[in-house]
Structure 1
């Protein structure tokens, strides 16, 4: 080995001893779990220089929407769009490997479906998180990223307070529940993201009624769940559409979630990007599986026939007034088409009103500026954020890239391929860094 090569290797070893890892992943949900698996599999290939990593996760253990693991709720994507299969069909971390390891593979095959329940898919994700055995600092939140000449310093609070240093950062902070303007979360008014926990802690239910706000899949699932779990209660679904809209999961429309579609979308004009998002919003936003729509309609119709009425769907409507009281919530529902107003005395109001992406300025400070740079997209094709000034390493985004990379930005569909693209980009950057160190010796 040449002296120059020894110096380059020593530089990486010195960084390791100084606890400078190659990657710090912020957030350890499905996206960075997929990244951890891609790293583990890449590092296992003979001849590859290992890429070191650590992850920071605010939750106390691996979790994926635990308060929406409703009985019978199924995934809206095929199990083949798991953490690995589209990148490495022979991976030991696939959903099929999980089924085999769990002793359920033949039983799942007999179900003749591509769509596991959400509870089972959560089990798969937890199994993969345990199997990959990544270095994860649970119960810890990253608060600030500080740029240094040769690394990033990430300040932490919580169980593992202090800081970590890394050559690259991958942000996968997930989504934050969004409530309507003026609504504050309380024991009787809350986002569906906290549904099961909040229902378990709900004060005494004396009014025997619930209001669910929203027109998407989660809103419909919540309405159906409440109707089943509280057989003595009325359920009022409120949304601005005239009726629930079926999700478009037809084969051609689903191509918008293919890995190749990211290339097409990224290279298109701003006008075409906006047009594609508008055309295909029905694949993901404010849309409901047709089978669930039909179930709800059958329930409502059966109650019209034989009574008693417990499910009420208020289309073209909105909450005109919400007044929280000691024993419940008084709600005025206004039909925006007719002007008619109905007063409902409810035990709780559940808002299935969507999410917002992780605010980048809060954690990146002056490294981040919005809107996008005028000289090009704010995120490169390999998901690297264009920071306000050059940095020694990269800041990569897993989520919050719908404007540049399309509808797969915050969804499970493209995790396997996206993880590989980020790993390849980081590996290339580290290799370039080594070459520069060799030349400088």
Structure 2
């Protein structure tokens, strides 16, 4: 498709998880107030339908943030896309209030996200992947367009759309320890429920969970509940699980104002954020889950059984096939090897890096002394020259510039609002310069 016939949009979003869903909400609501012309936006998502951490929607697990930290409330408390509006629509508002609980189950919050996403179906192309982002042919200035090359997964057909604003929200990539690969019996937590559902559960007589964070603890508890015939090992590099600090003063690190404190702070201030507050989110577990697991091991000790075992101060050094099972080699402790039927690594994720999408275009954006992208306060990549075409925004991968909330839901509504504000501000400048507005041939699903 040539540049003349390519669809043109005000915004192209890469990925359609909670971050870009929140952006879609902000663009609609802010656009109605700040612009005479509707904002045209299109989103491309690899998944075949909306989904957010589906493989960790374990029974009875709850959100670790208040329901008020939804897609819109902190930016617009009157939004029709709030969690409270969803509860009212579902006929559960009074019953939810009667729970006297700030933390809905993950399953219910996922239903809320799906409910909001259903309002933007005409803007989203599922089962599509973005291949590249590049300046349009002949682009020589900041108001020129970018080209986004998109591939439909079903038939591998390719098309190009144009825009001045790209918002990258491709999520996080699963992290495995060096030298260990996923396989039939070696899983990452990001694929857990799918793997578990397709496994012969009767044959899972010995399982191991590696990691010290919330996901590891929840999977350990799930195994213990779901496989009453199985030995469950929790391999923990620390001396037991560490408690997540969710006390009021510590939680202020997730307030919208904390982003400014981090972004405009000194190197010393930023380091202090991590040193003092990393225990609010990283490799920590909620109090109720820790106490529940400890109570289980105590009760087993009382009854003279030991089906749930915690291998503390222990790391996995290797994983290899052992007949029909998997052999896990361990460092430290009295157990040097475990032969298990499944080993789950809840070992976290790698931060998003847009360089792969940008290709050679990435050279037109500045990096800091450590090699990380420089990011403006409005989450926009900092261009190397005033003539760099278009604008690229990041939803994620900005912890080094914006702090702990970069990839979390806590500041989602405000962050998306700030990006939408920036996009609308540039659009006003373009209108004053009488540049042609984005008028897509078809504002709707491209697939």
Runs of 4+ residues over 4 Å off in structure 1: 15-18, 374-377
The alignment partner of 1:252 has SS state of helix
The alignment partner of 2:132 has SS state of strand
Question: Among 292, 298, 301, which residue is 2:298 paired with?
Answer: 301
Number of equivalences:
422
Are 2:68 and 1:73 aligned?
A: no
Q: Following TM superposition, by how much is the alpha carbon of 1:367 offset from its aligned partner in structure 2, in angstroms? A: 2.8
- The two structures, once aligned, show a CA RMSD in angstroms of 2.2
Question: Among 349, 368, 372, which residue is 2:367 paired with?
Answer: 372
Q: Following TM superposition, by how much is the alpha carbon of 1:328 offset from its aligned partner in structure 2, in angstroms? A: 1.6
Are 2:192 and 1:195 aligned?
A: yes
Preserved contact between residue 333 and residue 341 of structure 1 (Cα < 8 Å): yes
The alignment partner of 1:324 has SS state of strand
Q: Following TM superposition, by how much is the alpha carbon of 1:392 offset from its aligned partner in structure 2, in angstroms? A: 3.0
Which structure 2 residues correspond to residues 171-320 of structure 1 after superposition, within 5 A? 171-203=168-200, 206=203, 208-320=205-317
TM-score scaled by structure 2?
0.90
| In 2: Cα distance, 1:181 partner to 1:84 partner | 39
The alignment partner of 1:45 has SS state of helix
| In 1: Cα distance, 2:317 partner to 2:34 partner | 64
Q: Following TM superposition, by how much is the alpha carbon of 1:325 offset from its aligned partner in structure 2, in angstroms? A: 3.3
Preserved contact between residue 20 and residue 169 of structure 2 (Cα < 8 Å): yes
Matched with 2:378 is: 382
| In 1: Cα distance, 2:158 partner to 2:100 partner | 48
Q: Looking at both structures, which has the greater relative contact order when contacts are Cα pairs under 8 Å and sequence separation is at least 6?
A: 2
Preserved contact between residue 374 and residue 381 of structure 2 (Cα < 8 Å): yes
Moved more, 191-200 or 426-435: 426-435
Matched with 2:439 is: none
Spell out, residue by residue over 1:78-119, the C-alpha distance to the aligned partner (whole angstroms, 9 max, x if none): 000000000110110000110110011111111100000000
Matched with 1:169 is: 166
| In 2: Cα distance, 1:242 partner to 1:411 partner | 27
Question: Among 102, 126, 129, which residue is 1:141 paired with?
Answer: 129
| In 2: Cα distance, 1:288 partner to 1:268 partner | 29
Task: In structure 1, list runs of 5 or more residues that go unmatched.
Answer: 1-14
Which structure 2 residues correspond to residues 300-379 of structure 1 after superposition, within 5 A? 300-335=297-332, 340-368=334-362, 372-373=367-368, 378-379=374-375
Preserved contact between residue 57 and residue 107 of structure 2 (Cα < 8 Å): yes
| In 2: Cα distance, 1:166 partner to 1:111 partner | 46
The alignment partner of 2:10 has SS state of strand
| In 1: Cα distance, 2:182 partner to 2:435 partner | 56
| In 1: Cα distance, 2:35 partner to 2:251 partner | 38
Question: Among 78, 87, 90, which residue is 1:99 paired with?
Answer: 87
Matched with 2:445 is: none
Question: Among 103, 115, 120, which residue is 1:127 paired with?
Answer: 115
The alignment partner of 2:248 has SS state of coil
Q: Following TM superposition, by how much is the alpha carbon of 1:205 offset from its aligned partner in structure 2, in angstroms? A: 5.0
Matched with 1:82 is: 70
Are 2:118 and 1:118 aligned?
A: no
Moved more, 424-433 or 44-53: 44-53
| In 2: Cα distance, 1:410 partner to 1:104 partner | 29
Question: Among 409, 419, 422, which residue is 1:412 paired with?
Answer: 409
Matched with 1:395 is: 392
Preserved contact between residue 399 and residue 405 of structure 2 (Cα < 8 Å): yes
Q: Following TM superposition, by how much is the alpha carbon of 1:436 offset from its aligned partner in structure 2, in angstroms? A: 2.2
Preserved contact between residue 367 and residue 388 of structure 1 (Cα < 8 Å): no
Preserved contact between residue 40 and residue 132 of structure 1 (Cα < 8 Å): no
Preserved contact between residue 176 and residue 355 of structure 1 (Cα < 8 Å): yes
Q: Following TM superposition, by how much is the alpha carbon of 1:371 offset from its aligned partner in structure 2, in angstroms? A: 7.7
Change (3 A) 1:181 1:371: farther
The alignment partner of 1:50 has SS state of coil
Change (3 A) 1:330 1:371: farther
Task: In structure 2, list runs of 5 or more residues that go unmatched.
Answer: 437-447
| In 2: Cα distance, 1:296 partner to 1:51 partner | 50
Spell out, residue by residue over 1:342-383, the C-alpha distance to the aligned partner (whole angstroms, 9 max, x if none): 432211000000001222211111332598246997000000
